Chains A and B, each alone.
Chain A
Amino acid sequence: MATAYEYDDATAAAANYDDQAGPQRQDLGYDPNFVPDSVKSFVVHLYRHIREKNVYEIHQMYETSFQTLSERLFKETPWPSVDAVAHYVDNDHVFCLLYREMWFRHLYARLSPTLKQRIDSWDNYCSLFQVVLHGVVNMQLPNQWLWDMVDEFVYQFQSFCQYRAKMKTKTEQEIALLRQHDQAWNVYGVLNFLQALVEKSMIIQILEQEKEGLEQFTYTDGYDYNGGSNVLKVLGYFSMVGLLRVHCLLGDYHTGLKCLLPIDISQQGVYTSVIGSHITTIYHYGFANLMLRRYVDAIREFNKILLYIYKTKQYHQKSPQYEQILKKNEQMYALLAICLSLCPQVKLVEETVNSQLREKYGEKMIRMQRYDDEAFAIYDELFSYACPKFITPSAPSFEEPLVNYNQDAYRLQLKLFLYEVKQQQLLSGVRTFLKVYSTISLAKLANYMEVDEPTLRTILMTYKHKTHAVDSEGKIISNADVDFYIDDDMIHVIESKPLKRYGDYFLRQIVKLEGVINDMDRIKLD
């Protein structure tokens, strides 16, 4: 069961390296002080572009050049140390922090960080964020980079919690280091940094004022065309997504969604300007709604994003995020399969998405709706595959015998999820019967379902309860595809009429007519 829950760190095989001392492993021909010419050229140009606020060039170098050099020269070793390149860039403090951020990100992606490196990376983030929070940064950086910073920050936190929770294989040295640096990747620190970025950037107020036309943020994709800097504002913006993600990792879905509230996900926004941010936002939004039993909201959003990915993934084939995009795509299909099994509202799913879904999970969905033991096994499998990597945020007690507790958080969420699924076990049977009858007496239905009448009444009420979710404002929203009401002892099935969208129809025709008139105007008559 737990085997489907993979430890997502790249090169899982290299995890053994954690036990050895750092320098030994990275000694495979790695000289931190050796700076190839291409790297020298890279940092010099990047530094210049940043000083000249040439966002386009920065983006090119960040997205393409960095990847190319990594692929060619640093496939299995880190980049040159920051000390070795500092003098090429006037020892600029901020540039060095940015360089180190990329340095660590590369390390995490290609190799396996040692404990010391994890701690150093934390220190670097602290310095970097503090510089940004003091408002002295005057750069314009591409949204992709700013998103990657927040994304990586949360990822390294999650990775650290997973690492720390595996106490069994820790050496004396490592335990001593952990005790000494108890501030590193401390959950309070992580959350407070994200919160500080949101607050100091005043991004919530900016978004509010934008609705009244008093601010321009989304319109300019977050960039500042008045000579200022976009860094704090955009980091603040992406930190809201970061907070959503951290809260999901903790199992606090309600607060996570609350953190995302200032961003209107029914519209385009800065969060859609970077595909990684778009996907992460919707993935966590959908997952949180699934756990809150707001299945329709989850289905709607998964449907939109899966369609979007289907149409646009070809454009991202060369990008370093491509693998991640594909992975999240698969996970969201799994989550969609779960949602639709619990709440069969197939009308909400677009044709293309639906056919993909049938292909990947058609069979499994049929079996899930049988609610037998096999069904629960499939729910378990899909949930474990698609869920976030939940964490235990507290530090271990170093006194107790050393055990691995990195799976505890995941096991709890899985258990509670399956518990919920179990409570919905009998609803599928009710649905089947309700689809066939327009009215049926309680006695008759009880007979068919092989239960007594009082039990049937409770089953019907359970159906009503589970299909009527409470939204964020406390209103009751019906998720039910098939509905009914009871008059004394008679069940009346409510037929769902297809919704006629008059409003949309008129809007479309108005625009069409305008188009025709414009075309006619263009025809010159002699």
Chain B
Amino acid sequence: MGRERDTQKMQQQVSFTVEQLVTVNPYNPDILPDLENYVNEQVSSETYSLDANLCLLRLYQFEPERLSTQIVARILVKALMAMPAPDFSLCLFLIPERVQMEEQFKTLIVLSHYLETGRFRQFWDEAAKSRHIVEAVPDALWLTRGQNAGFEQAIQSYAIHLLSLTYQKVPRSVLAEAINIEGLSLDKFLEQQMATCGWSIEKGHGKGQLIVLPSNEFNHPELKKNAADSVPLEHITRIFPILG
């Protein structure tokens, strides 16, 4: 137990220093190994730093002989997990075309394409077939969740985000396909979401359950804050002389 806490603490210290490096001294070839270690650390401790990973991809651009495809693959998988943020594209902009032509990267690009276009069924199918690539991001092995739990969870979270933008009420089958959970596991999942996230279930007309997603400004137009009504403070300060 004690040793684990020590390594955790050491990891915290190292990541603190890496983030500092990226801010203060990013254009420095010597920090390349630190950045590579940091990618592996992000993978094992389920953290994420876009800035550090972009910094590394830039260094790979400056010195292509030092590029490690394994590390790049890990960066891309982490970027996929950051969706809906466009991090995956941001990383691709920095990776040379000939590297992107390699098999594992072509697969990752296809996976990203499916996610970008809401094709979750095809995504989960392809991800299952390409486990070996996704497994380039092994999760913390001492936790007793399923393998790649972090990756799956991140994509499910993105799927739910997308559904919440689009639907007030979504049919169970659509949800199931999007998050790749079926049957009893889906029931359990729904129970959890109802308890913690304010979901509820209705009876759909004949076809089965209808999941009612929480209201937000994107699926409930009346909740949209009229931004035009708020006046920035700087504008008010211009009339202070009059008001005073």
Q: Which residues of A come within 8 Å of B, CB atoms?
A: 187-188, 191-192, 195, 250-255, 258, 291-293, 393-394, 408, 411-413, 415-416, 420, 423, 454, 457-462, 464-466, 468-470, 474, 476, 478, 483, 485-489, 494-495, 499-504, 507, 510-511, 514
Contact = CB atoms under 8 A, between A and B. Distances in A.
Contacts of B231: 503-504, 507
Contacts of B162: 461, 464-465
> Which of B26, B58, B230 counts the most chain A CB atoms within 10 A?
B58
B94 A457 contact: no
A458 B119 contact: yes
B242 A465 contact: no
Interface string B93-116: 110110000000000000001001
B166 A470 contact: no
Contacts of A499: 226-228
Nearest to A471: B85
B171 interface: yes
B114 to A, nearest CB: 9
A411 B165 contact: no
A458 B117 contact: yes
Contacts of A255: 51, 54-55, 58
A486 B170 contact: yes
Nearest to A515: B242
Contacts of B227: 499
Interface of B: 26-29, 50-51, 54-55, 57-58, 61-64, 84-86, 89-90, 92-94, 96-97, 113, 116-121, 162-163, 165-171, 174, 204-205, 210, 218-221, 226-231, 235-236, 238-239, 242-243
Contacts of B51: 254-255, 258
A108 to B, nearest CB: 24
B184 to A, nearest CB: 24
Contacts of B219: 485
A293 B86 CA distance: 8
A443 to B, nearest CB: 13
A486 B168 contact: yes
Contact of A510 (B90, B229, B242): B242
A291 B171 contact: no
Contacts of A503: 228-231, 235
A458 B163 CA distance: 10
Given A487-B169, A499-B226, A507-B235, A468 B58 contact: no
Nearest to B243: A510
Contact of A461 (B85, B118, B229, B235): B118
Contacts of B239: 507, 510-511
Which 9 pairs between the two chains have the least Cβ-Cβ distance? A461-B118, A503-B231, A499-B228, A251-B93, A191-B27, A458-B118, A494-B221, A485-B219, A464-B165
A487 B168 contact: yes
A188 B93 contact: no
Contacts of A487: 167-169
B102 to A, nearest CB: 15
A479 B174 CA distance: 25
Nearest to B236: A507
A297 B55 CA distance: 25
Contacts of A495: 221
Nearest to B25: A195
Nearest to A461: B118
A412 B93 contact: yes
B46 to A, nearest CB: 17
A182 B96 CA distance: 22
Given A416-B89, A468-B218, A500 B228 contact: yes
A483 B166 contact: no
Given A251-B93, A408-B97, A486-B166, A394 B64 contact: yes
Contacts of A258: 51
Nearest to B98: A408
Contact of A420 (B89, B119, B229): B89
Nearest to A196: B27
Contacts of B50: 254
Given A188-B27, A195-B27, A254-B50, A415 B97 contact: yes
Given A488-B210, A489-B171, A507-B231, A457 B93 contact: no
B61 A423 contact: no
A428 B139 CA distance: 40
Contact of B62 (A253, A393, A413, A469): A393
B62 A188 contact: yes
B101 to A, nearest CB: 11
B62 A485 contact: no
28 contacts: A187-B62, A188-B29, A254-B90, A291-B93, A393-B62, A411-B97, A412-B97, A413-B93, A415-B97, A423-B116, A423-B117, A454-B121, A461-B163, A462-B117, A465-B84, A465-B162, A476-B84, A476-B165, A483-B218, A483-B221, A485-B168, A487-B167, A489-B171, A499-B227, A503-B235, A507-B239, A511-B239, A514-B242
Contacts of A412: 93, 96-97
A488 B169 contact: yes
Contacts of A488: 169-171, 204-205, 210
A252 B118 contact: no
Given A255-B54, A489-B171, A465 B116 contact: yes
Contacts of A466: 116
A470 B93 contact: no
Contacts of A483: 218, 221
A500 B230 CA distance: 11
B109 to A, nearest CB: 9
A295 to B, nearest CB: 12
Contacts of A291: 89, 93
A357 B236 CA distance: 34
Contacts of B168: 485-487
A190 to B, nearest CB: 9
A507 B233 CA distance: 12
Contacts of A253: 90, 93
A457 B26 CA distance: 43
Contact of A416 (B93, B170, B242): B93
A470 B86 contact: yes
> Which of A454, A458, A461, A489 counts the most chain B CB atoms within 10 A?
A461
A495 B121 CA distance: 31
